[in-house]
Chain A
Amino acid sequence: MTVLIGQLFTGVSIGAVLLLIALGLALTFGQMGVINMAHGEFIMAGAYTTYVLQQVITAAGWSLLVALPVAFVVAGAMGVLLEFLLIRRLYARPLDTLLVTWGVSLILQQLARDIFGSPNVQTRAPDLLTGNVALPGGITVANNRLFILALAGCAVAALTVALRVTPLGRRIRAVVQNRDLAAVSGIATARIDRTTFFIGSGLAGIAGVALTLLGPIGPTMGTNLIIDAFLVVVVGGIGQLKGTVIVAFALGVLQASGEYLTTLSVAKVMVFIAIVAFLQWRPQGLFTLRTRSLA
């Protein structure tokens, strides 16, 4: 029983990381049909931001707190730049955005290699986040995992509130649901796109900060994560956050339990098969917006 709950928690914490990464992707993919392969490099940018800040601010814990907003802005600014320079020319060709942003991600990786060197670097986690919490029943939970879970929870809550309540959120949702109608209703869709891209990429930056707590920071750290995050978005369905949230945790738990029962590699294949099987049942993902389009 203890083992089971421990595995469950591992799954949930994998899910939390996936969720942090997938949130931003879901936003940009859902809004503009843009597949941003450079999202992984925005994560990397967030992680390196944390690293740089720790060189400057050495006081325990503070650098991490400062890093959260700074990484958000750094990654967000990179996203806006990408949107402005390339992606807005490609809205009619979503598949091509995938290739173009892959090219951008190659460039960013090499840039990171040239600036920070190819070997991985490491940040020191604040003391508060290094220990474990002992729960009743002999279960221990790592503090940093709890922190990431909380961070993911906050991100979801903030995003939900922003999308539901604020005028900006209403406009974003309008553009997601029907871009043309939103445009004729007087919403400046181009500006909304740019704002969405800022928020989505910024979330990648925050995910990057969180990842510094779990492992080393390196130029290729984004590539490995991005595919899983994309799968979350595909399976979750486009346009709504709840699909992303549910699927991120479901895949995390599936991955963890698969790993427990077999091996890491077999678990990955199992997850893939499960996803293809799931798409037989709901090809458009878990939740979809109802549209009149034939596609």
Chain B
Amino acid sequence: MTTVASDPVTTAEAVPPPEKPAAGPSRHRFRAAAGFAFGAALLFAVAPLLLSDFRLSLLAKYLCVAMVAVGIGLAWGRGGMLTLGQGVFFGLGGYAMAMHLKLADAGPGNMPDFMLLYGQLDELPLWWRPFASAWFALPATVLLPMAVAFVLGSLVFRRRVRGAYFAILSQALAAAMVILLIGQQGTTGGTNGLTDIQGFFGYDLDDPVNQRMVYFIIAGTLLALLALARHLMQSRYGELLVAVRDSEERVRFLGYDPATVKLVAYVVAAGMAGLAGALFVPAVGIISPALIGIVPSIEFVIGVAVGGRATLLGPVLGAVAVAWARTALSERFPGTWTYLQGLLFVVVVAFLPGGLASLIGLARRRGDGERRTGLLRRLRRSRVEVS
């Protein structure tokens, strides 16, 4: 077989080292279950016990960012689609939820406060009306982003628009959405967004007990999304997705449709971002264009890159770590944080593209008694795996 000549991008080095026989599938499953249980215990028992109400609500916010990161890990890390517009889906979910909560706050028949203020509207705009019903609004937080992703994705992937082109288009989508939201101030709240959300399905969000409940919902959702992502990654579909990332053409020659494979990952990632946005609203009490534009959309990607884009947990831990560092540093040294954020981007992406997760992998391989080579050299080799 000489037809499968070496592809310049995926050289032989890109093939991961063969699995050791000891780590069979059952052992993998056991380890994953143990890790899952550990994470659940940490999120549900340790964090609420140790953290103050304020810290816990901050953590809830970070966990929402982590949900977006799980989706980006799937689409970008596994599927190779760098999506710079996850803020759009986060925002769609967030706005859908916020619209419902705003209407619920205002009470039946009344209009949200800001509309009277800027919009001078006599009645609720038509497209707001369905959101009064929770039966519409709740599914919409997930389905709306998925629908937008489906339309854009099927248009773009079928015509084989990819790589940088796709990244730029997804970014342009974020820019367009923000401008649209700001422009339609009367019905969207403009730059301010939808603020001052007080109730969450009958629970008062000012009450710390209810904030705690929101935190538990968020933590539970994150775990569920992780389980879903793991299931997808381990499945036959997950292998196909990686195959498309590494060589789309070969997958096509094998009789699969790469466009569909990519579309699924993109739509799932959009749904996750939408859910994250929806839960972000009760946790923080606000959704605004500043939270979903180009800059936040790229910041979602930073966490994923730092943690390790191609792994399951890397994006989550990276997202939480970066979000935490941001809060911790930007309050005291606003200028320094921007420098640090830029440096983080440069250093991690240029010199450690596998993210921090790849360091663990390297350390482990070293422990396995692999041929001792310099750390830098192995880093360089590991870089090929995630290109």
Contact = CB atoms under 8 A, between A and B. Distances in A.
A and B associate: yes
B249 A295 contact: yes
B387 A234 contact: no
A231 B350 contact: no
A191 to B, nearest CB: 22
A280 B155 contact: yes
Interface stretch (A12-20, A102-110, A143-151): A102-110
B344 interface: yes
Interface stretch (B174-182, B196-204, B321-329): B174-182
Contacts of A92: 9, 387
Given A99-B305, A103-B349, A276-B156, A268 B344 contact: no
> Which 5 pairs, one residue from A and one from B, show the smallest C-beta to C-beta distance?
A265-B183, A103-B345, A106-B342, A107-B342, A283-B159
Interface in A249-295: 263-266, 268-269, 271-272, 275-276, 279-280, 283, 294-295
Interface of B: 9, 80, 82, 84, 152, 155-156, 159-161, 163-165, 167-169, 171-173, 175-176, 179-180, 182-184, 248-249, 294-295, 298, 301, 305, 335, 338-339, 341-346, 349-350, 353, 387
Contacts of A100: 345-346, 349-350
Main SS of chain B's interface residues?
A: helix
A93 B168 CA distance: 15
B335 A276 contact: no
Contacts of A33: 164
A294 B248 CA distance: 10
A102 B305 CA distance: 13
A110 B342 contact: yes
Contact of B345 (A99, A265, A276): A99
B352 to A, nearest CB: 11
Nearest to A285: B165
A86 interface: yes
A96 B159 contact: no
A96 B173 contact: no
A95 B338 contact: no
B124 to A, nearest CB: 21
A95 B82 contact: yes
Given A92-B9, A93-B387, A99-B301, A110 B335 contact: yes
A230 interface: yes
Given A104-B342, A227-B294, A263-B183, A94 B163 contact: yes
A107 B339 CA distance: 5
A247 interface: no
Given A263-B183, A268-B175, A268-B176, A98 B167 contact: yes
Nearest to B188: A265
A265 B179 contact: yes
Contact of B342 (A103, A231, A275): A103
Nearest to A35: B164
A14 to B, nearest CB: 15
Nearest to B350: A100
A113 B338 CA distance: 11
A254 to B, nearest CB: 13
